Amino acid sequence: MFLQEREIAMTKRQFIQLFILSLALLLVFSGCSEEKKAKPVEEKVVEAKQEPVVKEEPVRETVKKPKAEDKVQQVVKETVAQAKIKPASGKKVITANFLMPAKTADVDWLGSEYFVMDWLVLGPFEYDGEKYGGEWECQEAIEIACVENEAKLTPREGAEVSGKYWQRLESYGELIDLDAFYEYTDFATAYIGAYVYSPTEMKDCILYLGSDDYVKVYINEELVYTYKTERRGAEVDSDRIPGINLKQGWNKVVIKVVDVVQGWGVYVRFADWQNKPFKVMSK
Ligand SMILES: [Ca+2]
């Protein structure tokens, strides 16, 4: 009986030893198999890291193209396509300017492209300076009807109105220099007209104007501004005219400009309701 118990104890011990041994072997083998499995993972990681390096080149190629210029080109294509649309007059559009929202970075620096510079001009309509008060007055000369229904003037190059002809005036600076164009005539009135293109309807825009001397401004045949206070030289942005609504597409701008003596001209540009100036493009 005692021997039987010893044998059973021995068998139990052997069984435990055998169990520990097999457990150890199992751990060793499982460790090896994990190592074997880990290798492909590392390889995959290396492969994954290499992929973006290979794809970098085409990404850089797309960055090389300036996005702003692409947008400008796109708008030019669209506006050229839309330029084929005839205006209300039924005649070909002779002059046109295109408004584009200025890039934020450009807001502080305003080049010539922010001014409306391509105009058709009609004149000069001379008046009696003495009759209107002489060289320091003539405010009421702005009320002289030089043409029939000036609000509805439709500028067309070469067209005759009241014995004068619409002529193209392409300015080389921001100032629309009527004094030089009309050979330094005094006591005279001229109308300047442009078709301005707005890609979208824009409400509450701001018209910035500087004039020498008195002006009336018509936008889409509506009188939006009159200046006839005192004779002055033209200065950029001297007058700020808010509440200007531009419709999508063509907008007709006609400005009546009266000169007393000496200089004669205007500066014209637009800003949106947030006072960001528009970049103006001409075709
Ligand atoms: Ca003047």
Q: What is the per-residue pLDDT across 120-150, written as a single tens digit (0 to 9) for each? A: 999 999 999 999 999 899 999 999 999 999 9
* pLDDT confidence of residue 187: 96
- Mean pLDDT over residues 263-271, rounded? 92
Higher pLDDT, 25 or 201: 201
Q: Which amino acid, one-letter code, is at 232?
A: R
Give, as residue ranges, everything with CB less than 5 Å from ion ligand 1. Answer: 212-213, 259, 262-263
Measured in angstroms, how far is the CA atom of residue 60 from the centroid of ligand 1? Answer: 55
Cα–Cα distance measured from residue 270 to residue 273, given in angstroms and rounded to the nearest whole number: 10
Measured in angstroms, how far is the CA atom of residue 269 from the centroid of ligand 1? Answer: 20
* pLDDT confidence of residue 76: 43
Measured in angstroms, how far is the CA atom of residue 263 from the centroid of ligand 1? Answer: 4
- Mean pLDDT over residues 61-77, rounded? 46
Measured in angstroms, how far is the CA atom of residue 184 from the centroid of ligand 1? Answer: 10
Measured in angstroms, how far is the CA atom of residue 130 from the centroid of ligand 1? Answer: 15
Average confidence score pLDDT of the chain: 75
Q: Is 124 helix (H, G, I), strand (E, B) or coil?
A: strand
Model confidence at 103: pLDDT above 50: yes
Q: pLDDT for 166-196, tens place per residue?
A: 999 977 788 999 999 999 999 999 999 999 8
Measured in angstroms, how far is the CA atom of residue 262 from the centroid of ligand 1? Answer: 5
Select, from the ranges 19-28, 112-121, 164-173, 183-192, the one with the highest average predicted confidence (pLDDT). 183-192
Residue with the two structure tokens 């009336």: 216
Measured in angstroms, how far is the CA atom of residue 187 from the centroid of ligand 1? Answer: 8
Cα–Cα distance measured from residue 279 to residue 87, given in angstroms and rounded to the nearest whole number: 22
* pLDDT confidence of residue 4: 56
* pLDDT confidence of residue 161: 95
110 phi and psi angles, rounded to 5 deg = -115, 110
* pLDDT confidence of residue 218: 97
In this structure, which long-range contacts are made by residues 162-167, counting pairs with CB atoms below 8 Å and at least 24 apart in sequence? 162/125, 164/122, 164/123, 164/124, 164/125, 165/122, 166/94, 166/120, 166/121, 166/122, 166/193, 167/120, 167/121, 167/122
Measured in angstroms, how far is the CA atom of residue 209 from the centroid of ligand 1? Answer: 15
- Mean pLDDT over residues 100-104, rounded? 59
Measured in angstroms, how far is the CA atom of residue 131 from the centroid of ligand 1? Answer: 17
Measured in angstroms, how far is the CA atom of residue 179 from the centroid of ligand 1? Answer: 8
Measured in angstroms, how far is the CA atom of residue 212 from the centroid of ligand 1? Answer: 5
- Mean pLDDT over residues 217-234, rounded? 95
84 phi and psi angles, rounded to 5 deg = -75, -15
Measured in angstroms, how far is the CA atom of residue 254 from the centroid of ligand 1? Answer: 19
Confidence of residue 164 (pLDDT cuts 50, 70, 90): very high
Measured in angstroms, how far is the CA atom of residue 233 from the centroid of ligand 1? Answer: 6
Measured in angstroms, how far is the CA atom of residue 151 from the centroid of ligand 1? Answer: 23
**Picking from 73-77, 160-164, 194-198, which range would have the lowest pLDDT averaged per residue?**
73-77
